[in-house]
Amino acid sequence: MTSSFSNLSLAEPLARAVAEMGYETMTPIQAQAIPVVLSGQDVMGAAQTGTGKTAAFSLPLLQRMLKHENSSTSPARHPVRALVLLPTRELADQVAQQIKLYAKYTNLRSTVVFGGIDMKPQTLELKKGVEVLVATPGRLLDHIEAKNAVLNQVEYVVLDEADRMLDIGFLPDLQRILSYLPKQRTTLLFSATFSPEIKRLAGSYLQSPVTIEVARPNETASTVEQHFYSVPEDDKRRALKQIVRQRGITQAFVFVNSKLGCARLARSLERDGLKTTALHGDKSQDERLKSLAAFKAGEVDLLVATDVAARGLDIKDVPAVFNFDIPFNAEDYVHRIGRTGRAGASGLAVSFASGGNDVRLVADIEKLIKKKIELEPVEFEDDRPRGRINDGRRRWREEGEAGDARDVLDALDRPRERSADSRPTRSVRPHRAPAAPRDPFFEKPYEAPEREAAPAWEATAKATPARGVSSNIKTKRKVPALFKAS
């Protein structure tokens, strides 16, 4: 379902901004969500980045904020009225930029706060007064603690990429933030999947939400050619380079499961002569934005990224996506390869499985996407480069293979692992196995593992002792502790 923005009766300044952006018809999530939000109802939306969901929540948000619009210079006249929470700095920055564009012909003020950079400039912006505040949860709590942000006049809250926020362990932070908001408000929650945890979150904080789903969240685009190769860990880099060369791939995303692995792989690919950049949580905000800009400008060929760092980035139509590591969560496979083959363009998704745990992870993906996966062998063109690569690998090992304190930080960028015994224990069919008869296993819809007891995050949130000025504010975030609990 698509329809024209002119059917919406958006206020003139918003309609003008939308027209200037070149939008003509609404995307399905916009056509469904905007009228519901304008009517004041809560929304639980399953929509991924790239579907136009930012405008789907921002335009009605701004339209409803217009009644507060004023040109006064007094900060008291510009309290925070709308709050948009996102899991990562890049996402927060992107959404804030879009909101600024949509609001450019209004007097509504907006700003963004996220961690990893100096708090002072953010504090100055907050002190001037803003109607729309885009934030990552941790940094927002820092500003609340410092009394830079007051949320008691918020009328509208958006929890974007809520599943990812829970994966990172932000639930206790979200609960604290939500406890500051007036009960009378509109709440929107967007998530790629409606896991039991997400449903619990919605049950606690949304009131009779309208559920909107624009596409089956676990579907992979039919335009994406998917290959799974069985490759020993040590040969993955060689396989990647060979496929890039053979297929004439100009640009690709390369996904890895950890920050440390991300930095190492990017360094070694760079040494191999490929223009590579890394995107992970240990990089400064400035470095991350520069990496992104360089990739968008076509100055680098390969962007090596962790899931958390790459989630939601507004990069479309990448010719290929590599899963250098099989993701721990099958849903992440769908997110990763959703970067390619967009809008009908053809794309390539290549995944490397190196045995062991990967077999189980591939079986999870198979079940989620409801497609049989063949593990193919890689036929290397030429064995000569092996020595050179092995030499490089030795150097690489010498540089610091041993686990160090960074492994703890690493864990923060890693999607939450499900317990091993909650996984289906089905093995992937070997290459060239005869076609299996119809298997009822694939006819069952994918279900995230149910937990009998309340999720760990709920217990943690209740058990978190109240400290500091208010029972709802914690004085210091202990992120590793949160991670362990999630």
Interacting residues with ligand AMP (CB under 6 A): 23, 26-27, 30, 49-55, 314
Token couple for 421:
């015994």
Residue written as token pair 């908001």: 181
Residues β-bridged to residue 230: 353, 377
We find the least distance from the C-beta atom of residue 432 to ligand AMP, in angstroms, to be 40
Closest CA to 32 of 64, 63, 65, 2: 2
We find the least distance from the C-beta atom of residue 312 to ligand AMP, in angstroms, to be 7
CA 269 to chain CA centroid, Å, is: 25
Nearer to ligand AMP, 145 or 314 (CB): 314
Sequence letter at residue 339? R
Nearer to ligand AMP, 160 or 235 (CB): 160
Nearer to ligand AMP, 157 or 181 (CB): 157
Nearer to ligand AMP, 47 or 171 (CB): 47
Nearer to ligand AMP, 18 or 206 (CB): 18
Nearer to ligand AMP, 34 or 363 (CB): 34
Q: Say how many C-beta atoms besides its own lie within 10 A of residue 225's C-beta.
A: 14
Token couple for 88:
């990562």
We find the least distance from the C-beta atom of residue 21 to ligand AMP, in angstroms, to be 6
We find the least distance from the C-beta atom of residue 2 to ligand AMP, in angstroms, to be 8
We find the least distance from the C-beta atom of residue 53 to ligand AMP, in angstroms, to be 5
- The continuous run of DSSP H or E covering 227 comes out as strand 224-230
Q: Are the C-beta atoms of residues 161 and 192 closer than 8 Å to each other?
A: yes
Q: Say how many C-beta atoms besides its own lie within 10 A of residue 288's C-beta.
A: 24
Dihedrals phi, psi of 133, to nearest 5 degrees: -115, 120
Cα separation, 337 vs 303, whole angstroms? 14
We find the least distance from the C-beta atom of residue 371 to ligand AMP, in angstroms, to be 25
We find the least distance from the C-beta atom of residue 318 to ligand AMP, in angstroms, to be 14
Nearer to ligand AMP, 52 or 392 (CB): 52
Closest CA to 170 of 134, 204, 197: 197
Dihedrals phi, psi of 86, to nearest 5 degrees: -135, 160
Nearer to ligand AMP, 97 or 107 (CB): 97
Token couple for 44:
């639980």
- Parallel, antiparallel or unpaired: strands 302-305 and 252-255: parallel
**3-class DSSP string for 327-394:** CCCHHHHHHHHCCCCHHHCCEEEEEEECCCHHHHHHHHHHHHHCCCCCEEECCCCCCCHHHHHHHHHH
Q: Are the C-beta atoms of residues 424 and 447 closer than 8 Å to each other?
A: no
Nearer to ligand AMP, 27 or 88 (CB): 27
Cα separation, 248 vs 235, whole angstroms? 20
We find the least distance from the C-beta atom of residue 434 to ligand AMP, in angstroms, to be 42
Cα separation, 428 vs 430, whole angstroms? 6
Residue written as token pair 């690493």: 410
We find the least distance from the C-beta atom of residue 125 to ligand AMP, in angstroms, to be 23
Nearer to ligand AMP, 18 or 260 (CB): 18
We find the least distance from the C-beta atom of residue 100 to ligand AMP, in angstroms, to be 12
Token couple for 373:
């996966």
17 contact partners, CB below 8 Å, separation of at least 6: 101, 102, 103, 104, 105
We find the least distance from the C-beta atom of residue 34 to ligand AMP, in angstroms, to be 10
Nearer to ligand AMP, 91 or 269 (CB): 91
Nearer to ligand AMP, 158 or 266 (CB): 158
We find the least distance from the C-beta atom of residue 74 to ligand AMP, in angstroms, to be 33
Residue 239: C-alpha distances to residues 17, 255, 297, 374, 379 (Å): 47, 15, 26, 17, 9
